[in-house]
Every structure is written in C-alpha cells, then in structure tokens.
Amino acid sequence: MLSKALYYQLHNGKLQCSLCPHNCLIDEDKFGICAVRKHVNRELMTINYAEVTAMASDPIEKKPLYHFKPGSSILSVGSYGCNLSCRYCQNFRIARGQPSSKRISPVQLVQLSRSVENNIGLAFTYNEPIIWYEYVRDTARYLKEQYPDQSIVLVTNGFIQATPWRQLLPYVDALNIDLKAFNTSFYQKICGGRLEPVLTAIELASQFCHLEVTTLLVNGLNDSESEIARLAAFLAEIDADIPLHLSRYFPAYQLKKPATKLAKMYQAREIASEYLNYVYLGNVANVDNSTYCRQCDNLLVSRVNYRVESNLTVPVCDQCGCRINLVL
C-alpha cells in the first residue's frame, strides 16, 4: 500500500531520498534504487508499507544469532525490495521483484506474534528491512509500548544513513548485520553499494543493542587472508566479544563461481579467531558451532544444527566466572 515515507527533501523538482547512502534523486512517478520508494506529487511514498511476502516461526539461531536468547523461536517477516543489488542474492525473488503479498498492519502483526506459542518477538528479515523502514519502526515502537518484554530483531545489510539509524535503534534488541566484505571494490562491483556506511552502522549499533555480524565468503573475491584479518580487527576494535559468522558461498542468482572451499572456511575462522572471541561457520556441515568460555573453554551452549542446550541462567561461565557476551 502507498504510505508517506520519511527522510527526503525536494531538490530542483526532484525528491532526494536520505534514508540510505544512495541519496537517490527521484523524478515524478519514478522509483529509487530500492524499487519501493516512489515520487508521487512531490511526496516520497513507499509502496510496500504493511505488505508481507514471507512469514515463519524460526529458531533464533537461523538469523543467525547465537548469543541472543539461545534456543528460542521468533516470528520472522519480510516484504519486498532492497537497496543493494548483490549478484549472489539468495532471496532475489523478493529483493529484486514484487511478489504477491498480504497486508498486515503493525497492530495486527504484533497480535499475530503474541499468538505464537513460546515466541520471543519479531524479526524483520528475508528482504532488506531498512527500505521497509516506516513499517518496521511503527511495528517495533508499538510492540515495545505494549509488550516491552518482547524482542525486536533485524537482519540487515546496514546500508543506512546515520540519522534514521539512530532513531530506529532504541527499539531494537538484537541485530545481525551482513558485512558483505572488507574491500570497497567488492561492495561497488558485486553489491552496488559502499563499505564505509556499513562500518558506521556497525559502530553505532554496538552502542545500542546486541550485535552479531555475518560475512559470506565468496570464492576469490572477499576471502583472502589479509581481508579476513582486517575485517576481524575492525570488529575487535569495537568489541572482541562481537560474534562473527563466516558463511560459505554457493553459486546463486547471477554469480556462478564455484563454492568456497572448506579449507578456506576453516582457515578464515582461525585467522578471525586471533582477533575475536567468538567465530562461527555457516553453510558448513558437521562443524562445531557450540559456544565455549573464552577464558577456560568450558562448554556453555551446545548446538547441533538448530538443537540447542544450555544450563546457563546468567551470562557467566559456571566454571571460572568469566562474563560472557550472551543475552539469556
């Protein structure tokens, strides 16, 4: 449905959107890069407000979030559109298209989430929640006003301007930010974006809520030893306890390079672990992704796929007393 957007200015007869770093200049009756924000009679409108294309109750570990309420389930929803154009996109049908959708108001969505048994809240995922900004903000604000014990989670590319980001983050409990690479060429040529705004978004997010980061390692493009080291060092400067998920690339959408080698994945984890206390591997079978104490290696949270076991009641190692970056 058409709904008035936030963050734009009139500029020489065009509208300049200031939600994300593209700063699109949009002519009358045209869309920005995200394909959901439209210039209509000198107002910027969104066409996907309250339009839901996907919904499922997921394990929180599937986001992936390993250090936020492990073993819980969360109602996950998405719309359509994206402000990046990743050539390996696994959700391109909703990111680059306009599939059928169901209109669900913020109040209706919150009530739906409350009706799901053992549900901890809402996760905005599948497509890019940033370009669903107004709906995400309205829903998150309503949920927090009515049910403050419930959680809001975003799975996002982090390609957003600082001002709208700061205004959204107070309503968010946990984030997984997809840091596509640690080189500007990859962002420009493979994703149609820029690196620096995402780094800023990560730094800001770390000040507001629980944060985890995912990087998909693409064979020969962003998986060099030096790049992994730089990426991990950047996160460690913010907080060495930020969990990093290194995920294995497989051919998808427009990118047909061979899958990233398993040896490269294990090597990347070793390199990143020199800087960070918690590094996990995604899209790799039979890998140990349990959480251990960073000080004494005591097993804290056991994970086998999405089966999770933990006896922790406080985020402290029961053997050595080390405090763990873990929201229970």
Q: Give per-residue burial for 159-173: e unless 16+ CB within 10 Å, then b.
A: bbbeebbeebbebbb
pLDDT tens digits for range 266-277:
999 999 999 999
pLDDT band at 305 (very low <50, low <70, confident <90, very high): confident
How far apart CA 176 and CA 234 sit, in angstroms, is 16
pLDDT tens digits for range 209-225:
999 999 999 999 999 99
pLDDT tens digits for range 240-255:
999 999 999 999 999 9
Q: In which element (H, E) is residue 139 found?
A: helix 133-146
φ/ψ of 30, rounded to 5, equals -115, 165
HSE value, Cβ hemisphere, 13 Å, CA-based, for 1: 11
For 181-202, what is the mean pLDDT? 98
Q: Give per-residue burial for 254-293: e unless 16+ CB within 10 Å, then b.
A: ebeeeebeeebbeebbebbeebbbbbbbbbbeebebbbbb
DSSP for 221-261? TS--HHHHHHHHHHHHHH-TTS-EEEEE---BTTB-PPPPP
pLDDT at 141: 98
pLDDT tens digits for range 17-71:
999 999 999 999 999 999 999 999 999 999 999 999 999 999 999 999 999 999 9
Contact partners, residue 52, CB within 8 Å, separation at least 6: 77, 78, 79, 101, 102, 103, 104, 109
Domains of the chain, earliest start first: 3-46 (no CATH), 51-289 (3.20.20.70)
Contact predicate 130/159, CB 8 Å: yes
How far apart CA 328 and CA 311 sit, in angstroms, is 11
How far from 20 is each of 15, 39, 131, 152, CA to CA, in Å? 14, 16, 8, 21
Please determine, for residue 96, whether its predicted confidence score (pLDDT) is greater than 90. no
pLDDT at 124: 98
Closest CA to 27 of 17, 39, 37, 35: 39
Contact predicate 47/142, CB 8 Å: no
- Structure tokens belonging to residue 154: 């975003």
Q: Biggest alpha carbon distance in the chain?
A: 65
What count of other Cβ atoms lies within 10 Å of the Cβ of residue 328? 15
